[in-house]
């Protein structure tokens, strides 16, 4: 396990044939450089193709010359420790002959090469992989920026009901910091929701991989929320909007509608009687030759009907919360 390809001390037998078989014919780019001078001592065809050099050109270089200047000090620090077995040095940025930079994954171990303390290196081109990873990171950052900027609260949970992401609007609605919730079981954080219709709807979305939308009162938060749940490969994405203000406005409109119904009933029932009386009495007054005493009696009845009608109007005003 992790056995070196090249001899580790000067007593080991090293032949050109061994080198040719192990290194020269390998499709993996390989080279050897002196740990003291950093001069290249050997290189295979795969490495020459990768870096774009002829063999004599490559062997005239130092190990620092196939790296950007900003990585030279890191190289010098990395080779201070002599690793007798293969060591994974991770990803490094290297230079081709034409000046193009690219990423390689370095595996290396220390060795003795022709009496010189050296480093045997495999430099595998991972530029496309790193570029793809970088694009993925950028895309994830872009998605995160979008999720942070939307006015909806958003959080994601995995199949264990653990919160894997929460945006700042969700922090505000939940009145918590994201570090308080990330990695936590959502039902442990909101135990009052367990065994409710809301919990059942989340369970249905998770088990059946279906979306769901509903409005509900989150009593523990004192918030009305419009919740949309969408299944994803490893859990659920949840969007929700604080609709408390809209809900209060709706309740106010419903209350006003009830008042209007009462007013409509008063107008259609209680107002009709005194108004009919007034209209009838006015017709009597219009008759010719009506004795004075009867006229006075009708006027008194008109006054009573008008007073009653005025009281009804005031009652309607009170019902409508209108100040006279």
- Give me the pLDDT at residue 52, please: 97
How confident is the model at residue 324, as a pLDDT?
A: 41
Average pLDDT over residues 248-259: 72
Q: Which phi and psi (to 5°) does residue 48 adopt?
A: -60, -40
Q: What does the pLDDT read at residue 92? A: 94
Q: Please tell me the predicted confidence (pLDDT) of residue 25.
A: 79
DSSP string, 67-103: S-GGGHHHHHHHTTS--SS-EEEEEEEEE-TTS-EEE
Task: Assess whether pLDDT exceeds 50 at residue 3.
Answer: no
Considering the chain, what percentage of its residues have pLDDT values greater than 70? 81
Domains of the chain with CATH codes: 16-130 (3.30.450.20), 151-242 (3.30.450.20), 252-319 (1.10.287)
* pLDDT tens per residue, range 81-126: 888 888 999 999 999 999 999 999 999 999 888 889 999 999 999 9
Identify which of 156-160, 218-222, 253-257 has the greatest average pLDDT: 156-160
Predicted confidence at residue 320, as pLDDT, reads: 61
What pLDDT sits at residue 266? 62
| pLDDT band of 319, cuts 50, 70, 90 | low
Which residues, 6 or more positions from 318, have their beta carbon under 8 angstroms from its beta carbon? none
pLDDT classification of 20: cutoffs 50, 70, 90: low
Query: 0.85 cut: is pTM over it?
Result: no
Contact 46, 28 (CB under 8 A): yes
Q: Say which residue the tokens 């063999």 belong to.
A: 55
> Using 50, 70 and 90 to split pLDDT, how confident is the model at 19?
low
Average pLDDT, the chain: 82
Distance between CA atoms of 44 and 299, rounded to whole angstroms? 124
Supply the pLDDT for residue 23: 79
pLDDT at 232 over 80: yes
**172-218 per-position pLDDT tens digit:** 888 889 898 999 999 998 888 888 889 999 999 999 999 999 998 88
Q: Residue 295 pLDDT > 80, yes or no? A: no
For residue 7, what is the DSSP state?
-
Q: Given the structure tokens 């009709």, which residue do they identify?
A: 272
Residue 152 and residue 228: Cα distance in Å, rounded? Answer: 10
Q: Please report the DSSP string for 235-289 in residue order.
A: EEEEEEEE-HHHHHHHHHHHHHHHHHHHHHHHHHHTTHHHHHHHHHHHHHHTSTT
């Amino acid at each position: 396990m992790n056995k070196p390809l090249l001899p580790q001390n000067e007593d080991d037998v090293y032949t050109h044939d061994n080198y040719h078989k192990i290194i020269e014919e390998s499709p993996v780019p390989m080279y050897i450089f002196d740990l003291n001078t950093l001069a290249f001592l050997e290189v295979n065809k795969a490495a020459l193709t990768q870096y774009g050099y002829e063999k004599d050109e490559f062997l005239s270089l130092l190990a620092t010359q196939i790296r950007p200047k900003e990585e030279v000090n890191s190289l010098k620090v990395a080779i201070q420790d002599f690793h007798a077995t293969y060591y994974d040095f991770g990803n490094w940025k290297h230079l081709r002959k034409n000046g193009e930079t690219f990423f390689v994954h370095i595996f290396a171990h220390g060795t003795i090469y022709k009496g010189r303390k050296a480093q045997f290196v495999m430099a595998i081109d991972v530029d496309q992989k790193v570029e793809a990873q970088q694009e993925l990171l950028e895309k994830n950052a872009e998605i995160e920026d979008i999720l942070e900027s939307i006015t909806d609260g958003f959080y994601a949970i995995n199949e264990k009901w653990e919160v894997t992401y929460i945006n700042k609007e969700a922090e505000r609605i939940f009145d918590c910091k994201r570090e308080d919730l990330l990695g936590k079981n959502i039902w442990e954080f909101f135990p009052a929701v367990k065994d409710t219709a809301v919990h059942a709807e989340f369970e249905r979305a998770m088990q059946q991989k279906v979306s769901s939308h509903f409005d509900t009162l989150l009593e523990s938060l004192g918030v009305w929320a419009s919740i949309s749940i969408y299944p994803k490969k490893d859990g659920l994405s949840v969007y929700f909007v604080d609709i408390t203000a809209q809900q209060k406005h709706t309740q106010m409109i419903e209350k006003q509608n009830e008042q209007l119904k009462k007013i409509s009933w008063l107008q259609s029932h209680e107002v009709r009687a005194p108004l009919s009386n007034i209209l009838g009495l006015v017709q009597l007054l219009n008759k010719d030759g009506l004795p004075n005493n009867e006229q006075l009696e009708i006027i008194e009845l008109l006054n009573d009907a008008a007073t009653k009608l005025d009281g009804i109007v005031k009652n309607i005003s009170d019902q409508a919360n209108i100040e006279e």
